[in-house]
Amino acid sequence: MTGALLNLAAAALVVGDRLVLAGVVFVVGSLLDMLDGTLARLAQKVSPFGAFLDSTLDRASEGIVLAAVAYRLAEQGRAVDAALVVVALLGSLLVSYTRARAEALGLECKVGFMSRPERVVLLAVGLFFDLLPYVVYLLVVLTTVTVGQRVAHTYRQLRPAEDAAGE
DSSP annotation string for 99-145: HHHHHHTT-----SS-SHHHHHHHHHHHHHTT-HHHHHHHHHHHHHH
Q: Per-residue confidence at 127, pLDDT binned at 50, 70, 90?
A: very high
Task: Work out how many domains the chain is built from and give that number.
Answer: 1
pLDDT of residue 167: 59
pLDDT of residue 4: 93
Chain mean position to CA 83: 17
Q: Per-residue confidence at 125, pLDDT binned at 50, 70, 90?
A: very high
- Give the mean pLDDT of 24-51: 87
Q: What is the pLDDT of residues 138-153, one digit of tens each?
A: 999 999 999 999 999 9
CB 10 within 8 A of CB 22: yes
CATH number, position 147: 1.20.120.1760
CA gap 55, 45 in Å, rounded: 16
Q: What is the pLDDT of residues 73-98, one digit of tens each?
A: 999 999 999 999 999 999 999 999 99
Chain mean position to CA 120: 7
pTM metric for this prediction: 0.90
109 vs 42, more confident: 109
Q: Which domain holds residue 77?
A: 2-166
46 vs 20, more confident: 20
pLDDT of residue 162: 67
Is residue 53's pLDDT more than 70? yes
40 vs 158, more confident: 158
Tally of helices (H runs) and strands (E runs) in the chain: 6, 0
